[in-house]
Each structure stands twice: as C-alpha cells, then as structure tokens.
Amino acid sequence: MLLGELLVAQGLVTDSDVDQALEHQRENGGRLGDCLVALDLIADDTLDDALRRTPKASATIADIGLAPEVLRDLLLKTLAAAVVAAEADLAEALKLPRSVVAEGIVDAFACDLVETCGVAVDAPAKEPKTQLRLTAKGRDWAAAAAARNPYVGPAPVSLARYVQQVRAQAIAGEKIDAAAIDAGLAGYISRPRLRRLLGPAVNAGRSLLIYGDGGNGKSLLARHIADLYTQVVHVPHCVAVGDAIVRVFDPALHRPLVASDDAADTTPGNADPQWVACYRPIVHVGAELTADMLELGCDAAPGCYDAPLQVKAANGVLIVDDIGRQRDDTIGLMQRLLAGKIAGHDRCSLADGRHAELPNDGLLVLVSGSEAQQVIDEDLMRRIPFKIEVTPPSRPAFAELLRAEAAAYRIELAAADADFIMDQIEEGYGEPLAFYQPSFVIRRLVAVCDFIDEPPAFRRDLAEDAMSNLFAARPQAPGPGRATARALGIAKRG
C-alpha cells in the first residue's frame, strides 16, 4: 500500500497534492510524507497520526512476536504444498517481509530441512530466483507439523500485536464533526434534532438503538451512519491465539484499498504485509443472525478458525437489523453483543474447551421496530447509551416529498392531489403515513402511465391503481378527506 494512496483514501490529501509532492521529491529528494508537509499539503501531526496507525513491518523473526517454531512449521508446510518455490514466492504466500522469510530459510538450511534445486528466471522482472525444496528430513518435519495443525496460508500476527493495533485505530479516535454529519446525511430525509442526537453517538463509538415504525428509513439511516467514517484501518489476515489460528480478514466483508504497482514511494513507513489496509468495515446482518455467528467458526480452512462477526467488524460498524425477528433468543443475542461491547473484548470458546479473548471495538447499531420496548428488556436498554426514534412524516412533510418526487417526473401535483393520496392511505387503508410511500406511489403511477402509453400525469384512478400496490388489502371508502372536512367544517374523529 503506497503512502499517497493511503492518505488519499482517507481524504487527507488529493491526487493532485500527491503529484505535486512527488515532483518536489524528484527535485529535492526526501520522503513523500516530508514533501507533503513541506508544501503545506498536510499537517505534520495529521501525517504522524496516519503513520502511527499503520503497522510497521518486522525485520526479524524475533520482531514477529511468535515462537520461531510456529513460523518454521508454517514455512515447511508452505514449501511442501508448493513442492518447489523461491524466497519471494514464500514471502508472498506467507504475507511476511522478505527479511523474515530469508532468516527462516537460513535456519532451515542449518537444520538440513531445505535445499536448493536450481535457478528460475522471473518472466516479468527477468530476475533469477533460487528455487528451494524440502529435503527428506524436511518432508518428515513438514508432515509432522501438518499433523499437529494442517493450516497453510498467511502467517498470523500475535494476539498482543492485534490487540495493540485495534486500540491504535479505535473508532472513537475518529472525530465526526457537524459538517461531516450534514454531508453524510445529504441524501437522507432531514429530521429535526437528528444531527444533535447523532453527533455524540457516532463519536462515542459504542452502541446505538434506532427504532420506530417500519418504512421510515431506519436501516437507511444506519447505513448513512456507517458511511460517516472515512479513516483507514489495518486488518490482519489471521491471528495466533495460543497454538490456534483465527482468520480475521474476510474478502466478502472487508473493503481493501486498491493498491497501485507504481513504485514512486514504496510503502507507508515500511508497512507490514501481514495486514490489509481497508476502509472501516461495515457488517450488516438482520433476521439471519444466530448465536453461532457470534462464536468462532471452524469452517474457515483446515486448522483455522473463522472469526465471529463482531470481531470481523472490529474498528468499524456492526449493524444488527430487524431486532426481534431472529430465530435465536433475542435477549440472549443482545446480551452477547452488548457484553463484549461494554467489556471491550469477546470471550470466545476454542474446540478443545479453552477460551480466547479477542478485542471488541466499533459502533454497534441495533435497528428495531416501534415495539423495541417489548423486544429489548429494561436491563438491556440501560446498557445502550444512545437511542434515536425515527418518526413518521407529518402531513406537510409527506406532501412536500410527494411534490418533489412528482417533479422529478415532470408531474404537476396540486395540494388537493396530495391530500387525496394521504387520505386514501390514512383513512381508506387505515395505515399511517411513512417516508417510503411518496416515491413508491409516484413511481408506480409513472409505471401505469408508461403501460397505457400516456405521458406521466396525475389522475385519481391511476393513483388508486398505484396505491393498491402499497398494501395487501382493499381500501375502504374514506369519506371526506381531512382537507375537505376542514373546508366544510366537519369534525373528523382522531
């Protein structure tokens, strides 16, 4: 991961800033970061903070923090699987610095575990590579290592290094100001007090409950909240927990930064290949959440556990939607999630009965319907420090949304037309207004017009056809609508 890409991805500099600094570097020398600071393109403390959160590559086996025999066994198993490989190939497979792999190869030579078997030329770089293979003794050692643990893949980071890195890039360390919240919610329906309620919640990085009637954008708000965070975090391929290996990086969930092969400035502060630079993770689950998903899984790879969801979401946002619709006991799931959040770590069980404590950092967003008080008991409610109710739109707000949606299709919508739609929903169908309904109705109206080969326009019969898709019931005769009733002086009940 190049330093320029790392800073651009976080919005700390622009591509043109990097180009300017690279030109300065070519003319004056120095490191890219120093050039950016010299040109006043980034503050010195901002650069230091970004580099502080970037794990540095280890130079020796001792720096890795793992027992030498762990890396030796992994090296032998990797070479046994490849049959023949060069030092660079082993470094890529193990996701280790070349210097560490080179030291491991020297040790293996000293123990008569590997031998050279010729030289191959790398086609793109035309670089000769000394090929290595296991000796008979090395094959025996590799087989014994595989019997103890068959895992072959990236070398794990130590649990101590992982805990330290999670703390260094804690989500509470990223401050979200009012301007960032306004920009992040630009595509979301504005509601009074929302920014004031959101600010403390997103900056605390603990847990937040979003609740209210369906169809009013609770899940959408949760996603907007998750997108507020822009910092880059570093996720390990896997972590060593005692003699067990836990896979953390998940390409299906994590969002790696796209790295370039252009080597103007090699790596940011000698970055460690054992880690993947990613945007803060966003993990979104709903009714499919089960208790097993919050525990270590055994299906990642032979000899390797799969990290639970809340661990994969470390330093990011875990959204649990549709609270109360899960197959497993809701109270039990919430207790498990909140206990780890409050403690700052999760106690996970290994297959042999031992336990491992993995760090738990990030914002937990719980999304529930208006029945939240019935789904989440009083004790759990006290453990959730922030709560936001998403309320239905008022009639004026609903009418404004209708007009805006209609205008997008060049449909003129009179005040009486908006009243007709609202009266049909509230009195005809007996349903509350919701934020999703204006776009739903207008788009179905346009679809009907397209089908009958007419330009989009409001007609009450077509609007009734459009609204029939909203609910699985026939409307009752609404009688005089609220606007008509007010005009006639008729007192409406409710």
| Structure tokens, 141 | 């050692």
Q: What is the mean pLDDT of residues 280-297?
A: 94
- Quick one: pLDDT at residue 487? 44
Q: What is the mean pLDDT of residues 116-126?
A: 71
Q: What is the pLDDT of residues 160-198, one digit of tens each?
A: 999 999 999 999 999 999 999 988 887 676 666 788 899
**pLDDT score of 230 more than 50:** yes
Share of the chain above pLDDT 90, in %: 58
The domain ranges of the chain are: 3-52, 67-155, 162-389, 395-488
**pLDDT score of 261 more than 60:** no
- Quick one: pLDDT at residue 265? 37
Q: What is the mean pLDDT of residues 21-50?
A: 85
- Quick one: pLDDT at residue 480? 52
- Quick one: pLDDT at residue 485? 47
CATH number for domain 162-389, candidates 3.30.930.10, 3.90.1150.10, 3.40.50.300, 2.60.40.1930: 3.40.50.300
**Which of 25-29, 255-259, 423-427 reaches the highest mean pLDDT?**
423-427
Q: What is the mean pLDDT of residues 239-265?
A: 77
Predicted structure pTM score: 0.84
The residue ranking higher by pLDDT, 457 or 303, is: 457
| Strand bridging mode 244-247 / 304-306 | parallel
Tell me the pLDDT band of 123, cut-offs 50, 70 and 90: low
- Quick one: pLDDT at residue 482? 52
Share of the chain above pLDDT 70, in %: 90
> d(Cα 255, Cα 233) in Å, to the nearest integer?
10
- Quick one: pLDDT at residue 270? 59
**pLDDT score of 311 more than 50:** yes
- Quick one: pLDDT at residue 130? 87
The residue ranking higher by pLDDT, 122 or 417, is: 417
As a whole number, the mean pLDDT across the chain is 87
- Quick one: pLDDT at residue 90? 94
- Quick one: pLDDT at residue 259? 53
Q: Which of 30-39, 213-222, 422-431 has the lowest mean pLDDT?
A: 30-39
**pLDDT score of 475 more than 90:** no
Q: What is the mean pLDDT of residues 431-439?
A: 94
**pLDDT score of 431 more than 60:** yes
**pLDDT score of 267 more than 60:** no
**pLDDT score of 486 more than 70:** no
**pLDDT score of 407 more than 90:** yes
CATH architecture of 67-155: Orthogonal Bundle (1.10)
- Quick one: pLDDT at residue 352? 80
Q: What is the pLDDT of residues 127-168, one digit of tens each?
A: 778 899 999 999 999 999 999 889 999 999 999 999 999 999
Angle between helices 87-94 and 98-110 (to 10 degrees): 120
**pLDDT score of 15 more than 50:** yes
Q: What is the mean pLDDT of residues 343-355?
A: 87
Q: What is the mean pLDDT of residues 219-240?
A: 94
**CATH code for the part of the protein at 395-488:** 1.10.8
The residue ranking higher by pLDDT, 396 or 372, is: 396
